[in-house]
Chains A and B, each alone.
Chain A
Amino acid sequence: AQRVTQPEKLLSVFKGAPVELKCNYSYSGSPELFWYVQYSRQRLQLLLRHISRESIKGFTADLNKGETSFHLKKPFAQEEDSAMYYCAFRLTTDSWGKLQFGAGTQVVVTP
């Protein structure tokens, strides 16, 4: 069965330090991967999707099919990056686009 794994429940980093959130998936085909973010008291919102290959708020993520990973990275963390981050996956063969989410990683950026 397809599965998304985020191994870190909590990631604590200092402001200005690099941050990397890990996401691994299990699927033999071509998936579509997303990162969603939830800031305190706000709704879940899309941060980026791998097919867009864009950088949002300084974050980037590269799909590595060999390692079945889609890690999220930012070279210099800011305090406003403190939030809950979810990696999500959908099958490219699924026209309805059901999303499967990881358990999430809480990021805390301290000054």
Chain B
Amino acid sequence: DAGVTQSPTHLIKTRGQQVTLRCSPKSGHDTVSWYQQALGQGPQFIFQYYEEEERQRGNFPDRFSGHQFPNYSSELNVNALLLGDSALYLCASSLFNDGVSDTQYFGPGTRLTVL
């Protein structure tokens, strides 16, 4: 099991553009969470998907949107990119079991640079 995988590894975009990041969860997991990690900061929760629906959202603008597919993989979309969106974007997967989301396992991240 490769664990949580993310693509691409690195991405460079310019202000105003749109970007899509992808995540495949660990085998057996059904829940995907996305986090933004700015330089020198801890990860900040963006949102979480389960059964193809957004279940919880952090304090991020509507420019950040996502999707979960029937195979549990997920995408994070960011529109109208700002310089401040430059960060490492982490995907984490977990299993929702007995009404609770269990331990989150993280992917290697996608490094987004906005010029």
A-side interface residues toward B, CB under 8 Å?
4, 6, 36, 43-46, 49, 86, 88, 94-104
Contacts and interface: CB of A to CB of B under 8 A. Distances in A.
Contacts of B106: 36, 43-45
Interface residues of B, number: 30
Given A43-B107, A45-B106, A104-B41, 4 more contacts: A43-B106, A45-B105, A96-B50, A99-B43
Given A101-B44, A102-B42, A103-B40, A46 B56 contact: no
Nearest to B55: A96
Contacts, number: 60
B101 A97 contact: yes
Interface of B: 3-4, 31, 33, 35, 40-45, 48, 50, 55-56, 58, 90, 92, 94, 99-109
A101 B42 contact: yes
Contact of A97 (B40, B104, B107, B109): B104
B101 A95 contact: yes
A44 B43 contact: yes
Interface of A is mostly: loop
B107 A98 contact: no
A94 B33 CA distance: 14
A44 B93 CA distance: 12
Nearest to B44: A101
A81 to B, nearest CB: 19
B45 A100 contact: yes
Nearest to B47: A98
Nearest to A41: B108
A27 to B, nearest CB: 15
A9 B92 CA distance: 24
Given A43-B107, A45-B106, A97 B94 contact: yes
Scoring B45, B55, B94 by chain A CB atoms within 10 A of each residue's CB, the highest score goes to B45
